[in-house]
Chain A
């Protein structure tokens, strides 16, 4: 018993140490920073505590020192969630058919498609987003292509809009959706699909009643893998959204950068963590309830 415990400890020590050092400690540091008074030129006054940073999330203080409600930051949170949700939905719409197609072709071809899906990872994310600027900008590849085809006359003015951010995010996170979805679909026993056909199901119903429910854990994993990093995305909104449609990531960055308000930046980042944890918790509860309803 004792030796087992020592062994467990030895095996988990690297992970625990890593998490403690690079995850828990920084979070605690952030928590501490968020309760401090900002220093005038960046940084914080390490010995002056205040709740101003958290006040600022919802209220603004005018010159007279009076508090009034300010929904600007809530709006940025809401926009981030909306964009992350839309991106997740878009990656889903692209990934499920792709992954389904991959399960119908030979293993060699499926492996080749998997290879193609991972190829973009070889290039830096920043570079890839700059490439999208060249495609989406006025008179860029997209405009030229569409005009050459005679589909549009003027520029589409896509770059520096939320749409451009959405396109960039969808592109960046697509592999995270395709991979788990494909693995989940590939694992489904083909005999179950035959059985469903045999019992009179049309292709559509085989998909909706058997294939997708069985692949759901993988699809959900993919959705979480896309949704969470999307929420904190920085590069695509900055480069493709032109900083006009600010998301949480950009807001946090600006607090530590240009605005020199470290406590508020820390408070914002912590809020994001808190909201995410809450979302996942609700998700789990809903899942558990669904599992109970359908025994």
Chain B
């Protein structure tokens, strides 16, 4: 089940006239039938990697295998992958049906077969009745679906998607996220999705590769990336997090005891389940997700502080607490939490030892 669809090894690419490598030694296996996301800030190399898979970039080093075949310098038209472009790049002089038929015609499929397949794609993408329209006569969401249909029509082994949802408004984007997920499951085609939107990535992907400056920061399932970020960059880039400076005071197997340096005179110490191999006496940063911090009676609380403001967003309420030395602590509470009580006086917060990720500072 976990056969490899794309094997990327040691890929390097530097564009002429730029000091830094766009891709700096990237090695990655993308499995068959998975929804794989390349995630990172702009300029991290995710689009360059996608274009390399499609065949639009010549690599300086390394290789890309599709289905076990080294692509080398195989041109894009001979690769069993298709791309959904960020701008859609629909052919403006062709109707919706002609756009969807294009790749099939390039394969010299028989006319009847093309007609059937186009009709199939139109119904799969809910474009019935729009076959004769020109792209300019369609809404953004419809154009998006035509681009998908055009790329999926020849049943490529891999579908590459270059930030395809970034031009849509929020509501449509959420609809298309579900639609894409549905399509991926319905077709069983490997999707490689590029985005800079971490929420979108978490929601849609089977696995995610987080990139930065042309390097891979972490590859893993969505939950792993969120719960167990491999480094501070990933922790910061994905989701909300509190970063608490600390010093390791004792080690105990995998775990360790850390003294938080954000509480002034009072030595607050916290037992962390996974000390991440940080040596005793070394400085560290503890990363805690806001929803993993809970309210506690002051007497038994780990940290105390005031809550000058909270931000309500329906399902939850983010409390922006200020600790004794001024450190901000963000705590995600239920939307039903009692605000008056929070704002009234000092609050206590507790953190479970297994909710903390420790990184060397």
Q: List residues of chain A with CB under 8 Å of any chain B CB.
A: 189, 191-192, 194-202, 205, 209-210, 213-214, 294-295
Contact = CB atoms under 8 A, between A and B. Distances in A.
B141 interface: no
Given A198-B54, A200-B77, A191 B106 contact: no
Contacts of B345: none
Interface string B55-71: 11000000000000000
Contact of B151 (A189, A199, A213): A199
A205 B107 CA distance: 11
B220 interface: no
Given A194-B76, A214-B93, A201 B82 contact: no
Contacts of B132: 295
A202 B151 CA distance: 16
Contacts of A195: 83, 85, 89-91
A191 B76 contact: no
Contacts of B134: 295
B87 A209 contact: no
B95 A294 contact: yes
Interface string B25-57: 000000000000000000000000000001110
A73 to B, nearest CB: 42
Contacts of A214: 92-93
Contacts of B81: 198
Contacts of A201: 77, 102, 106
A191 B77 contact: no
Nearest to A214: B93
A210 B77 CA distance: 14
A205 B150 CA distance: 17
Interface string B229-266: 00000000000000000000000000000000000000
B93 A213 contact: yes
Contacts of A197: 75-77
A184 to B, nearest CB: 12
Given A198-B54, A200-B106, A202-B77, A189 B89 contact: yes
Interface of B is mostly: loop
Interface in B64-117: 75-78, 81-83, 85, 87, 89-93, 95, 102-103, 106-107
A201 B55 CA distance: 13
Given A194-B76, A197-B75, A199-B150, A209 B102 contact: yes
Interface string B344-358: 000000000000000
Interface of B: 54-56, 75-78, 81-83, 85, 87, 89-93, 95, 102-103, 106-107, 132-134, 150-151, 154
B93 A198 contact: no
B154 A200 contact: yes
B91 A210 contact: yes
Nearest to B79: A198
A205 B106 contact: yes
Shortest beta-carbon contacts, A-B, top 3: A200-B106, A195-B89, A199-B103
Contacts of B75: 197
Given A197-B76, A295-B95, 7 more contacts: A192-B89, A194-B85, A198-B77, A199-B77, A202-B77, A205-B106, A295-B134
Contact of A200 (B91, B107, B133): B107
B102 A199 contact: yes
Nearest to A209: B102
A213 B99 CA distance: 14
A213 to B, nearest CB: 5
* Residue of A189, A199, A200, A213 ringed by the most chain B CB atoms within 10 A: A199
A223 to B, nearest CB: 18
A198 B106 contact: no
Given A199-B106, A200-B107, A200-B154, A191 B95 contact: no
A119 to B, nearest CB: 32
A198 B76 contact: yes
A191 B106 CA distance: 18
17 contacts: A189-B87, A192-B91, A194-B76, A194-B85, A194-B89, A195-B83, A197-B76, A198-B55, A199-B82, A199-B150, A199-B154, A200-B77, A200-B103, A202-B106, A210-B91, A214-B92, A295-B95
A194 B85 CA distance: 10
Nearest to B83: A198
Nearest to A194: B56
A142 B154 CA distance: 54
Contacts of B54: 198
A187 to B, nearest CB: 12
* Residue of B54, B106, B150 ringed by the most chain A CB atoms within 10 A: B106
B68 to A, nearest CB: 20
A266 to B, nearest CB: 44
A222 to B, nearest CB: 18
A209 B94 CA distance: 10
Contacts of B82: 198-199
A280 to B, nearest CB: 22
Contacts of A191: 85, 87, 89
A213 B95 CA distance: 13
Contacts of B55: 198
Nearest to B51: A194
Contacts of A209: 102
Contacts of B92: 192, 214
Nearest to A197: B76
Nearest to B154: A200
Contacts of B91: 192, 195-196, 210
B43 to A, nearest CB: 19
Nearest to A213: B93
Contacts of B89: 189, 191-192, 194-195
A205 B89 CA distance: 17
A237 B182 CA distance: 69
Contacts of B90: 195
